[in-house]
Amino acid sequence: MIKRIFIRDTNSSSADKARDFCNVLRNQLREKQMDEKVQLIRAADMGVYNQGIVMRILPDDLLYGQVEEKDIPRIVSETICGGKRLNDLMCHHAARQCRIVLRNCGVVDPESIEDYIAQDGYQALAKVLEQNDPEKVLAELKTSGLRGRGGAGYPTWLKWNLARNVKESQKYVICNGDEGDPGAYMDRSVLEGDPYSVIEGLTIAGFVTGASKGYFYIRAEYPLAIERIQKAIDQAYACGLLGENILGSTFRFDAEVRLGAGAFVCGEETALIASIEGKRGYPRPRPPYPSTQGLWGKPTVINNVETLANISPIILKSGKWFAGIGTETSKGTKVFAVTGKVKNSGLVEVPMGTSIREIVFDIGGGAGSGKKVKAVQTGGPSGGVIPEDFFNTPVGYENLQKIGSIMGSGGMIVMDESDCMVDIAKFYLRFCVDESCGKCAPCRIGGTQLLNLLEKISDGKGEEAHLAALRRISFAMQKASLCGLGQTAPNPVLSTLNYFEDEYRTHVLEKRCPARKCGRLFRYSIIQEKCKRCGLCVRNCPSDAISGNREKGYVIDEAKCSRCGLCLETCKPNAILRG
Amino acid sequence: MDAAQLEKDVSEIAGDWKNKEGNLIMILHRIQSKYGYVPREVSLEISKHLDIPLARIYEVITFYNYFKLEPPGKCTISVCMGTACYLKGAPTLLNELERVLGITEGQTTKDGMFRVEVVRCLGCCGLAPVLTVDGKIYQGVKKNEIGEIISKYAAEENGGNGGHKEKP
Amino acid sequence: MNRLKKEDLNRIKAECRGKKKDWIKVGYSTCGVAAGAQEVFATLCREVKEHHLDIEVKKCGCAGMCYAEPLVEVNVEGMPRVFYGKVTPETADKIIEKHVRGKMLMDDHIYDLKVHEAGAEAGLS
């Protein structure tokens, strides 16, 4: 059988070194007359990083790392000709992904119900309907330890059980696909890539809780997800997997899509309900919880997309199997959207308990820009930043909370040295201020005040007392806001302030932004010795801040400069200084 | 707009949603996808058709970012301001757009050609920074590509389509 | 399609699994489409038709490697299953020419490969 060897220089993005290495290897294979039996392939990515030259040999499936040219002779003679494994070269394979939620994403055609059925689709629903015992499903979910993947982490079985125990003829189940966290798109991916698994999960939720109607509440900004879910619903109706007598049983379940309209607060349960009712998405105080009084006053269960995608595998493979993955209190896997200053932006699904370091460096490939990774942010506008010192923390609901962030829905944004923490806090806070529905004062007024303070700090008008004020207002918002949005809005401020107080102090005391992000705290100037007097910067400056002429040279008027950086980019001799 | 035509359009738009519970937002979505925004006369007609006060309709429209009360430009450029795009330079792209077109976010150019908007997150964080022009997504956009993108659309509008299209 | 019963599920499953093995999948989610999956899909379909190849070209969801979109997964019998990343219509042409027709893997475009049929799931069950 022909051997195939994949080769890549995992330290650099250039293919030069790998190419040279391949040539040497090819020559040595030729000497042994093996070149016909081996194909060498330069890979573009191997899922392994910073391990020098890496070789993956098929069909033996060996992974060698830190391979040098001097190792080639023995690789050729022992592994390729002799079929022997060279243990000293074996590369430790980084954290493996484990796909439960994303099991079908990228595997099935999302517009084909047959494809889904071929991957054991609807077997879980068939099993549930055949056994006809909701309590058994609840018991299985309880064993599994599945908790809500939307962020709060409430045990799913408990949520279902609460609604199930209410005596009421009409109940509802809702799939929350209002993925409002900017920088996260796990739900979009699942809805687009595997819509049937979510529909199946929601149908099972309907059966267990006694609800005959389900809603998909999806952001209007996700047109493809809406289209795919709608098509899948139509097809499921046509196949008798929705509607009356599902799979020949007496169970009836209807499902319908409702669209969000661009309001972050609608991710909150009670606001989401108001929105489906066609009203402003105002949250209301709880209790009563939706499980007793929800949509149109009826008992309602709201589950996140990812939670629902976990249901079928648990029923098919057992709760015990699921509970075997993850940590003591956080079971199963979690999907993260790893984005920002990371080499490989994408979705990763890892067992709970995987460390942040493994996610960012082993799977994500590190910063990729050559700059140092400074922190990650999880949980979006409700979460916090986690500095690099805490990257060994295993992910889990409680663990992340302990270090001042939250699991959230799964956004993980990587930041490097060029990102300013005051700026980040400002970004999230502006988001929350924009999205605050204005119903309660702590969120409406507190948020604005926090933002004002942060703006002063980043404009160089900050005072030391402002730092204490930030903490005080944050505390008040956490304690007194009506819903989750206001209670968690100060988290990005508090966590940046706790971990990067130095950076805040540099802004306040030295009026300097170490990352050079805050426009008022750095300036552009022209290094006269380097300047070639070409005048390109003058022509490009949008705010006419550069004056002078070819004889006398040019200067930048700091008062007029908008800090756009165009001069820096256009200057050929690099005569513009930013500092 | 002709009153009889409007009545017909509205009853078509409302369609089978008319008698469903919580239908208002879904109907507004349909209106916006037909007209590009929610015109006042259509809201008035909806109010009659569904028998709900106009204030109720406006209360909802003004709460949600997605609904617009003004007609969009011929080309709507939406800059994604999700966290990933923000970190990877979306503010620079927005500045450049504003500079080139001479408008600020939320405005339409005088000739009605371009409108610049900021959107929350398009869910393409892996391709950051992204912007969309009339729904087409541009990924990994750099500041110096902005001029090129704009002139492409400007040329399309001025070229093939005989110059000017009437706005709704 | 008719209303399904449990037996039908098993029948469909068996039918689908019994189908021929060669296929090409193109990641067709928002991120893939944004990166140009439409053109790639069209190119692949055209080439397969032109050369009368016995291989199915399918759309699928996002495999998670957004940085490498458009992503094309190729499964040809007797060869490892591989993911080609950042595929352009030109690369798509070459995938058909070299990989599918020539049975050779291409340099510099492979982003991942699957050794076991069931992938990482196999380790779980």
Cα of A25 vs its chain's centroid, Å = 40
Residues of A in contact with C60 (CB under 8 A): 105-110, 193
Instruction: Answer yes or no: is pLDDT of A396 > 80.
Output: yes
Residue C10 maps to a domain: no
Residue A466 Cα distances to A141, A441, A461, A493, angstroms: 48, 21, 10, 12
Instruction: Answer yes or no: is pLDDT of B164 > 50.
Output: no
Distance from CA of B39 to the nearest CA of A (A): 17
Give pLDDT, residue B159: 63
- At the topology level of CATH, where does A421-509 sit? de novo design (two linked rop proteins) (1.20.1440)
Domain span at residue B30 reads 3-63
Residue B42 maps to a domain: yes
In this prediction, residues A181-198 reach a mean pLDDT of 93
pLDDT digits over A110-131, tens only? 999 999 999 999 999 999 999 9
The H or E element that residue A421 is part of is helix A421-435
Give pLDDT, residue B38: 95
Residue corresponding to tokens 């199930």 = A164
Give pLDDT, residue A62: 86
Confidence of residue C116 (pLDDT cuts 50, 70, 90): low
Confidence of residue C10 (pLDDT cuts 50, 70, 90): very high
Shortest CA distance from A192: residue in chain B: B123
Domain edges within chain A: 3-89, 113-321, 333-416, 421-509, 523-578
Task: Give CA–CA dist A161/A144, Å, rounded.
Answer: 15
**Interfacial B residues in 144-163 facing A (CB < 8 Å):** 144
Q: Check if the beta carbon of residue C78 is closer than 8 Å to that of residue C70.
A: no
pLDDT digits over B65-124, tens only? 899 998 888 889 999 999 999 999 999 999 999 989 999 998 888 888 999 999 888 888
Residues B106 and B49 reside in one and the same domain: no
Rg (CA), chain C: 16
Torsion of CA A579, B145, A412, A65, to 10 degrees: -90
Q: What CATH number is associated with residue B95?
A: 3.40.30.10
Task: Give CA–CA dist A575/A215, Å, rounded.
Answer: 60
Scored b (16 or more CB within 10 A) or e, B70-102 reads eebbbbbbbbbbbbbbbbbbbbbbbbbbbbbbe
pLDDT digits over A253-287, tens only? 999 999 999 888 898 999 999 999 999 999 998 88
Neighbours of A286 (CB within 10 A): 14
Max distance between CA atoms of chain A, in angstroms, equals: 91
Domain count across chain B: 2
Shortest CA distance from B138: residue in chain C: C34
- Among A162-166, A527-531, B108-112, the range of highest mean pLDDT: A162-166
In this prediction, residues A146-173 reach a mean pLDDT of 94
Shortest CA distance from A332: residue in chain C: C124
Give pLDDT, residue C121: 36
Q: Who among A221, A258, A341 is closest to B120 (CB)?
A: A221
Give pLDDT, residue C119: 37
Distance from CA of C68 to the nearest CA of B (A): 9
Give pLDDT, residue B1: 65
Residue C9 maps to a domain: no
Q: CATH second-level architecture of A3-89?
A: 3-Layer(aba) Sandwich (3.40)
β-strand pairing of A254-259 with A213-218: parallel
Which CATH code, of 3.40.50.11540, 3.30.70.890, 1.10.3720.10, 3.40.50.720, is assigned to A113-321? 3.40.50.11540
Residues B105 and B153 reside in one and the same domain: yes
Give pLDDT, residue C113: 82
Give pLDDT, residue A17: 85
Instruction: Answer yes or no: is pLDDT of A486 > 90.
Output: yes
Environment class of residue A544 by beta-carbon count within 10 Å: exposed (0-12), middle (13-18) or buried (19+)? exposed
Task: Give CA–CA dist A276/A260, Å, rounded.
Answer: 8
Distance from CA of A126 to the nearest CA of B (A): 31
Task: Give CA–CA dist A384/A306, Å, rounded.
Answer: 21
Instruction: Answer yes or no: is pLDDT of C36 > 50.
Output: yes
Q: Who among C62, C68, C124 is closest to A45 (CB)?
A: C68
Task: Give CA–CA dist A209/A298, Å, rounded.
Answer: 12
Instruction: Answer yes or no: is pLDDT of A441 > 50.
Output: yes
Distance from CA of C29 to the nearest CA of A (A): 6
Environment class of residue B53 by beta-carbon count within 10 Å: exposed (0-12), middle (13-18) or buried (19+)? exposed
Q: Check if the beta carbon of residue A554 is closer than 8 Å to that of residue A547.
A: yes
Residues B53 and B121 reside in one and the same domain: no
In this prediction, residues A501-525 reach a mean pLDDT of 90
Task: Give CA–CA dist A236/A231, Å, rounded.
Answer: 9
Cα of C58 vs its chain's centroid, Å = 6
Residues B85 and B55 reside in one and the same domain: no
Indicate the CATH number for domain A523-578.
3.30.70.20
Residues B57 and B34 reside in one and the same domain: yes
Give pLDDT, residue C77: 87
Indicate the CATH number for domain A333-416.
3.10.20.600
Q: Who among C4, C12, C115 is closest to A61 (CB)?
A: C115
Residue B92 maps to a domain: yes
Domain span at residue C101 reads 21-115
Task: Give CA–CA dist C60/C63, Å, rounded.
Answer: 8
Structure-model confidence comparison of residues B143 and A494, the more confident one: A494
Residues B47 and B79 reside in one and the same domain: no
Neighbours of C32 (CB within 10 A): 32
Residues B154 and B79 reside in one and the same domain: yes
Sheet holding B136-138, edge to edge: B114-119, B75-80, B131-133, B136-138
Q: What is the pTM of this model?
A: 0.90
Residue B69 maps to a domain: no
Environment class of residue A221 by beta-carbon count within 10 Å: exposed (0-12), middle (13-18) or buried (19+)? buried
- The set of chains that have 3 or more CB pairs under 8 A with A is B, C
pLDDT digits over A43-99, tens only? 888 878 888 898 988 888 888 989 988 899 899 888 888 888 888 888 876 557 889
Backbone phi and psi for residue C8, each to the nearest 5 degrees, phi listed first: -65, -40
Task: Dig out the tokens for B94 from the structure.
Answer: 């927005």
Mean of per-residue pLDDT scores for chain A: 92
Q: Check if the beta carbon of residue A328 is closer than 8 Å to that of residue A314.
A: no
Domain count across chain C: 1
Q: Who among A56, A96, A105 is closest to C120 (CB)?
A: A96
Instruction: Answer yes or no: is pLDDT of C73 > 80.
Output: yes
Last-in-domain residue among B20, B43, B63: B63
Structure-model confidence comparison of residues B162 and A37, the more confident one: A37
Task: Give CA–CA dist B133/B80, Å, rounded.
Answer: 11
Give pLDDT, residue B50: 92
